[in-house]
Amino acid sequence: MQRRRIAVLGVLTVIALGYLLWFTPFLGVSTVEVVGVREVEADRVRSVADVPIDHPMVRVDTDRVAARVSELPGVAEADVSRSWPSTITITVTERRAVAYHESSGGVELVDSTGVLFEHLDAPPDGLPKLDLLDPGPAHDETRAVTAVLAALPTELFEQVVSATAVTPGSVELELTEERVVRWGDAEQNEYKAKVLDVLLTRKGSAYDVSSPELPTVS
C-alpha cells in the first residue's frame, strides 16, 4: 500500500510539474534579449519575433521565431535560443551592404551575396554603385561582383566608385580619379588586392590584375 501511494504521488507530481511548465507562466518568458544588431532596431526584432511575455518557455517555437525575424530586410540570419529560467535570446546576423543599385524603382542596398535588401531615398555615401541591369542573388555576375567588393581591404574599398561585370569572369572596378581596374573573376581576391595596392603607386588609368602574376598598368 505504501509503495502504491508513493507511485501515485510520483505520477501526480510529474503531472503537476508538466502542467506548470506547459500551461502556466511558472517558467514563462520574462525577457526577450536581442544581440548582434547595429542597424536593425532591437525593438523591431522583438515586435516581429512576437514572443508573448509569460508565455511558457517550453512552448516557444524557436524555429518559427527565427524564421519571422529572418524576414526582416536587414537580417541575414537569426538564431533563437532559451536561456533558462525565463529569457529568450535572439542572435541576429545583419546583412552587410557592399554596394547600392539604382534603377527606375529607386535605390537599394546590396549585400555580399547579391541580395537587394533595403530601399533608400538617395544613393548612400561610402558605398560603390553596382552597375548591373538586373542584379540579384541568382545572377552569376552579381555574385561575382559582390564577392569581390566584400573581399576588398577597407582602404581599397573606399576608392571604388562603381563595379560591373559582363560575365562572372570580367569584374571591373571604377576607382576615384577616373581609374579602372580589370579584376577578372572572383578568385584570388586577397592576392589581387595586394598586387593592385602596389600597382596603384604607379601613374596610370587602367590597372589589370585579372592575371595577378602578370599585372599591367596603362
Model pLDDT for residues 96-111, shown as the tens digit of each residue: 999 999 998 899 999 9
Residues of the chain with pLDDT under 50: 7-21
Query: Which pLDDT score is estimated for 105?
Result: 85
Stated pTM of the model: 0.81
Q: How far apart are CA 107 and CA 121, in angstroms?
A: 7
Question: Cell digits for 186?
Answer: 572572383
Q: How far apart are CA 7 and CA 25, in angstroms?
A: 27
Query: Which pLDDT score is estimated for 16?
Result: 41
Query: Which pLDDT score is estimated for 92?
Result: 98
Query: Which pLDDT score is estimated for 142?
Result: 98
Quote the radius of gyration of the chain (alpha carbons, Å).
26
Grid look-up 514572443 returns 51
Query: Which pLDDT score is estimated for 24?
Result: 53
Angle between helices 42-49 and 62-70 (to 10 degrees): 130
Query: Which pLDDT score is estimated for 122?
Result: 95
23 by Cβ neighbours in 10 Å (0-12 / 13-18 / 19+) ranks as exposed
The amino acid at 20: L
